[in-house]
Amino acid sequence: MSRTELFDLDGKIALVSGASRGIGEAIARLLARQGAHVIVSSRKVESCRHVADAIIADGGQATAMACHIGETEQIVSTFEQIRQQFGRLDILVNNAATNPQFCNVLDTDPSAFQKTVDVNIRGYFFMSVEAGKLMRDNGGGSIINVASINAVSPGAFQGVYSMTKAAVVNMTKVFAKECAGFGIRCNALLPGLTDTRFASALVKNEAILNLALTQIPLKRVAEPDEMAGAVLYLASAASSYTTGVALNVDGGFLS
């Protein structure tokens, strides 16, 4: 009996945003281990190179590309570079996100609001548009949007962030419906509380953490690697009939 090749990504080109650390780095490393050439992207190219070099040292294929997804011009420039260098894109993982303010919704700073919307909504949208054009030209692909359980159950003092993540889930369904005819699938990952620098305000605060754990049936915080397997499923042929889905990976929080 031969092993399944459903999760093989040999010959695939994958772009992971926010891949310099945390969940994005874990995703980039796993996709590379499964055979994809991974474009490691975040705002600072030095951080991208660190992850790309580690992937290459592990026997994988990777390229570092800086891109601030809150800047539309940088998105367009990045995809022009991808088109010239690779001629195709098979997998896009929209993972880069921001949450600059932790406060009561009535105290929201307008600039923090705008920054969150620019990155978490506009950035995801135009990354998906540019990726979708490349995928349409090459017979299809898979877009995975990293949203959050906050899309379903807003986090305390995370109002704008939660709203943007709800928008990402709806955006996922829009692209799934309108791009299916081009062979493009689009799905969302909804991570629960994960031990990353991004979530450090929650994970490192003992009172907040203890309260959170009472609502998580598995009674622990996730590790970034535990999100990567779900993304591999959504990126690979194993999920060939899956599109428009919001997949909870949350230790049972939303159950």
pLDDT per residue as tens digits for the range 15-69: 999 999 999 999 999 999 999 999 999 999 999 999 999 999 999 999 999 999 9
CA distance 86 to 24: 21
In 3-state terms, what secondary structure has residue 105? helix
Model confidence band, residue 2 (pLDDT cutoffs 50, 70, 90): low
Cα–Cα separations (whole angstroms), residue 17 to 178, 219, 241: 23, 29, 25
CA distance 80 to 72: 13
Catalytic residue among 124, 161, 233, 241: 161
Cα–Cα separations (whole angstroms), residue 59 to 3, 50, 127, 253: 21, 15, 28, 37
Sheet containing strand 184-191, strands side by side:
61-66, 37-42, 13-16, 91-94, 141-146, 184-191, 246-249
What's the full length of the chain, in residues? 255
CA distance 63 to 51: 9
Model confidence band, residue 220 (pLDDT cutoffs 50, 70, 90): very high
Q: Which residue has the tokens 């969302």?
A: 188
The pLDDT of residue 166 is above 80? yes
Is-catalytic flag, 161? yes
The pLDDT of residue 212 is above 90? no
Write down the pLDDT at residue 203.
65
Write down the pLDDT at residue 110.
98
What is the architecture of the domain spanning 13-249? Answer: 3-Layer(aba) Sandwich (3.40)
Write down the pLDDT at residue 195.
87
Write down the pLDDT at residue 199.
62
pLDDT digits (tens, 9 = 90+) for 88-137: 999 999 999 999 999 999 999 999 999 999 999 999 999 999 999 999 99
How many C-beta atoms lie closer than 10 Å to residue 116's C-beta?
Answer: 24
Write down the pLDDT at residue 206.
75
What is the DSSP code string of 121-143?
IIIHHHHHHHHHHHHHHTT-EEE
